[in-house]
Homo-oligomer: A and B are copies of this chain.
Amino acid sequence: MNISIIGLGLLGGSFALGLKAKGAPVTILGVDSNPRHASQALAGKIADQILSLPEAVAKADVVVLATPVNTILQQLPEVLDMLPAGAALLDFGSTKEQLCAAVATHPKRGQFVATHPIAGTEYSGPEAAFASLLEGKTMIICEREKSDPAALAVVEQLCHTLDMQMRYMPAAEHDLHFAYVSHLSHISSFALGLTVLDKEKNEKNIFDMAGSGFSSTVRLAKSSPQMWGPIFTQNRQNVSEALAGYIAQLQQFKEAIDARDEEQTKEMMAKANEIRRILG
């Protein structure tokens, strides 16, 4: 099976490495606009060949769009236009509503499966990819009913090979949830990094004094601006609403602290502790 991966970064690369590690009979045709990433992907055995996008699509049984979501938005209808009959197209974008809308009336819509693998790290590029990234993780499929059963079956089979669990939901619901459980986390981390960098001019101080708590909260501030900028733009309304809610919670904390109202801060923290039930 020829799988053409457009964008040989963390997710695209890990998808390829994961399938190969499981012994799946796949040939990976890689496409990347960055020549350095293309050769790293060859060297790292992510891609078996590097091709141009039209060549890779023409030869594909499955095409994966694993580029930033603004690029996916542009590539999705173009790739669908040139997709061979019987091939399946999927994408790894963290937003789903605008992407699905862009091909809603495309004559080949059925060959597209809108997917979002819930996995990642704060690193990017082919050198960040590793075989077990997707293993055991959740794959969300949106607008399942708009995909042809054959295309859906191919995608589900590949996910099954990686021991991924499938979840199905409408694209709008996906984008709303992910504004809260993913996109907001990233902004909270970026803003925390900026606040601390702004205040602490002496890096040795941050380094020596930051405990594991700070590292864990600020970890996502290392994430790629090229990847996250377009996500926030495409999911603008939900992210803005989530941010407004977050800012309101922080302001309530600040007011309670300013007022020395320790009962109030304790009450808020006790309520936040309920996250234990979810995180385990």
Contact = CB atoms under 8 A, between A and B. Distances in A.
Contacts of A118: 208-211
Interface of A: 118-122, 137-138, 140, 165, 167, 177-178, 180-182, 184-200, 203, 205-226, 228-230, 232-233, 236, 239-240, 242-247, 249-251, 253-254, 257-258, 260, 262, 265-279
Contacts of A253: 187, 190-191, 243
B232 A243 contact: no
Contacts of A214: 181-182, 185
Nearest to A121: B212
A199 B245 contact: yes
A187 B244 contact: no
A263 to B, nearest CB: 8
B251 A247 contact: yes
Copy total for this chain: 2
A247 B245 contact: no
A interface: dominant SS: helix
A197 B230 CA distance: 26
Given A193-B275, A213-B185, A217-B216, A247 B250 contact: yes
A270 B267 CA distance: 36
28 contacts: A119-B211, A122-B213, A177-B200, A180-B195, A181-B205, A181-B214, A185-B218, A188-B192, A188-B217, A190-B268, A191-B272, A195-B242, A195-B246, A195-B249, A199-B242, A216-B216, A217-B219, A221-B273, A222-B275, A225-B273, A228-B269, A229-B262, A232-B257, A233-B257, A233-B262, A239-B257, A243-B253, A244-B254
A226 to B, nearest CB: 7
Contacts of A268: 190, 194
B190 A188 contact: no
A194 B197 CA distance: 25
A119 B228 CA distance: 31
A180 B199 contact: yes
Contacts of A267: 225
Q: Which interface residue of A167, A218, A226, A277 has the most chain B CB atoms within 10 A? A: A218
A205 to B, nearest CB: 6
